Amino acid sequence: MRVALLGTGIMGTGMAKNIARAGIPIKAWNRSKARAEPLAEHGVTVTDTAAEAVDGADVVITMLHDADSVESVIKNVTLGPETVWAQMSTVGIAGTARLAALSDRFVDAPVLGTKKPAEDGTLVVMASGPAELKDKVTPVFEAVSSRLMWIADEPGAASKLKLVINGWMQCVLAGVAQTVAFAEAVGVDPRLFLDTIRGQASDSLIAQGKGAAMIARDFAPTFALDGLEKDTDLIAQAIKDSGVDASVITAILNVTRRARDLGHGDEDMAAIYYAFRPDR
């Protein structure tokens, strides 16, 4: 088993470490090689080019920003006839269909989680693709996850589920951001909000974790606001295409863009909070 991982951003870095930790030989490539080079200390072979990483690989993982960046990289490498391509970036429904058309050994496998789960190997992997490829990719998916869900035997089903889940998460995140800003504006300590809902039906890990980050103004990125904007745009388009009213997610997309325009794109997605402040 030899793995190539293309894209060592916030998520890809943790995934590469855990694949190597599982004893699976892995090569990694990133557009900025300097960002990938620290992985060498963890047993990962860092390559100069994507083609070099893919050469001889049994499984190729793409963990890049969007469908366009994935396509541009894959079209410039040669996948072996037995190589399985595990596309683990969030690229939406149309993007997944476009990429799946490039290979008949394609597995649609987006993940649920951010920086810490990626580092800890506790992501949730949602996979869909030809059943005969399952055994080949399972050891790799298990190395990066605490839960592997095989959704269907055709690509696309996993990405649809990912958008459904992310749409719900975006609603919770935006609601927490508005609530923290509202509490501060009317003179209520927002920590009382988090303390009051703790353990109740209205509580969630997102509310507690991101709410605390907003209150502390701790926006070190575990998942960047720019990525949130990209994903929310994909969700909004998919909801519109389905015929469902998209007014809620469209409002969240607009708020996300406002926070980005205020200069918080490189910060954690919790920085959506700044779009709600009365002094914005």
CB atoms within 10 A of CB 138: 14
Give the C-alpha separation, 256 to 10, whole Å. Answer: 20
What does the angle CA 171 – CA 65 – CA 132 come to, to the nearest 5 degrees? Answer: 95
- At 81, is the secondary structure helix, strand, or coil? coil
Would residue 136 show up in a list of annotated catalytic residues for this protein? no
Give the C-alpha separation, 16 to 21, whole Å. Answer: 9
Cβ atoms of 53 and 36 within 8 Å: the answer is no
Give the C-alpha separation, 35 to 8, whole Å. Answer: 7
Residue for token digits 């389905």? 242
CB atoms within 10 A of CB 142: 15
Residue for token digits 């103004």? 217
H or E, element range at 148:
strand 145-152
Strand partners, 84: 59
Give the C-alpha separation, 159 to 198, whole Å. Answer: 31
CB atoms within 10 A of CB 146: 13
Name the catalytic one among 17, 27, 162, 210.
Answer: 162
What string of DSSP letters covers 19-77? HHHTT--EEEE-SSHHHHGGGGGGTPEE-SSHHHHHTT-SEEEE--SSHHHHHHHHTTS
**Catalytic residue numbers?**
162
